[in-house]
Structure 1
Amino acid sequence: MTSFPATARRVRDESIGPRQRRMHLRNCLYHFAPYGFRATWHHLATTHRIVGGIEADPSSLVRALDELEMARALVLPRAAAFAVRRRLRKREGRRVPASAHPWDSWGCHAIAYCPDPQQHPVEPLPVVVGRVLDACAAGADPAGRCLVCGNEDRQPGEACRNCGVLAGRCGNPV
């Protein structure tokens, strides 16, 4: 499997047909899908009007990729800093992380996991991802109010009724 940047370059490559470019955009979600694969794809497809006949508007793929890359740019520095801290702690003999990180180190999935792909936040991905990461950095308790919309009428173990996000360990699914 290729990297996110390599796959993103293929989405922008106009010498490739629009259908292949759409497939490459979906492949980007194997590397970064903050709502989970299906919900993130649904968000991008509806927000940027990625239609079945993609030949009508191939620029929608680039608009969707731009939004995805902006959200990913918020996660990368935090993931790199976490990796540095983990390496230092491992050298000290501490093999178990001191705290949970709000991303999946195998692809940054489910930062704001939405179990129903049709129900997800309507705000842009960078806004939602930034909100969750900031709340986790501040030590917010995901069992209390929703980290994305602030809804306090949440049932533990259930997705938020307002935005569809299922809060687990500070952004990861339970």
Structure 2
Amino acid sequence: MSFGTYARRVRDVGAPAARRHTALRCAVSEYCPLGFHATWAYVSATALPSPDLRRDSTALLRALDALESSRAVRIAEGASFAARRRAEKAAGLRTPRGAPVAQVWRPHWPTPVGTAPSRLGLVAAVADRHRAFRRLSAPDGTPVTNGLASEGRAARLTELHGRLEACGTAYLTALGLPDAAARDELSDTVTGIRGEVRPGHAALNHRLFQWLGFADLLGYALVVAPAR
């Protein structure tokens, strides 16, 4: 079913609360610019004063409003990009110009021009993914067998894991108001992690890509200028 169908179910005040709650989760699965779990944390936080979307009908609607508003901006951005590309192709320009296309595939909360994402929402999203990152198996410094990593590489991975975890903790401690040093530290940490990725389907790549997924969200939260 479509996003619109799920949105109508959320707005059906005559439906059971559990059904409306499930419909909102389905709507998030259809549009999740920060990833499903981070997007759910974002809209749940911005639905305050009550974060309990299972019992608070008005909070449920506020969460849907936040999701729909962002989705409308994303649709408009996509239409604008498509129109620009048609014009560029007609002019013989095969390479996209203007805004970077890669941003579409990375965590990004679209907002109308002149507005910023909710700082509370971004803090909640990072907190959710920070908890998930900490649950990932961390390298313990033991060399990986079968020649997949040297003892030195295992030590580097342990250090990088700790640094990324610390970057997340620093952002949350600052309540989403980081300083330049925090941005520089994350950038340096990400460079180190990317340097450990190997070509092809190396055994450790899956773990590193999980780390980089969290780093992408954290990096977006660090550089965006959210409303206070």
Shorter-chain TM band: 0.5 to 0.7
* Counterpart residue number, 1:5: 4
The question of 1:67 aligning with 2:79 is answered no
86-95 vs 40-49, which moves further: 86-95
* Counterpart residue number, 1:131: none
* Identity across matched positions, percent: 31
**Equivalent of residue 122 in structure 1, options 104, 119, 123:** 119
Superposed, 1:105-120 pairs within 5 Å as 110-111=107-108
Unpaired runs of at least 5, structure 1: 113-119, 126-147
CA contact (8 A) 2:46 2:118 kept: no
Cα distance, 1:151–1:78 mapped onto 2, change above 3 Å:
farther
Shift of 1:38: 0.6
Cα distance, 1:103–1:60 mapped onto 2, change above 3 Å:
same
The question of 1:51 aligning with 2:104 is answered no
Which structure: greater helix fraction? 2
CA contact (8 A) 2:41 2:121 kept: no
Deviations 1:53-110 (A, max 9, x none): x2x3222211111122222233332221111112222344444322423324xxxx72
The question of 1:152 aligning with 2:180 is answered yes
Task: Give the superposed CA RMSD.
Answer: 3.4
The structure with more radius of gyration: 2
Output the TM-score relative to the length of structure 1. 0.58
CA contact (8 A) 2:10 2:21 kept: yes
Distance 1:77 1:70 in 2: 11
Distance 2:94 2:177 in 1: 35
Distance 2:70 2:52 in 1: 22
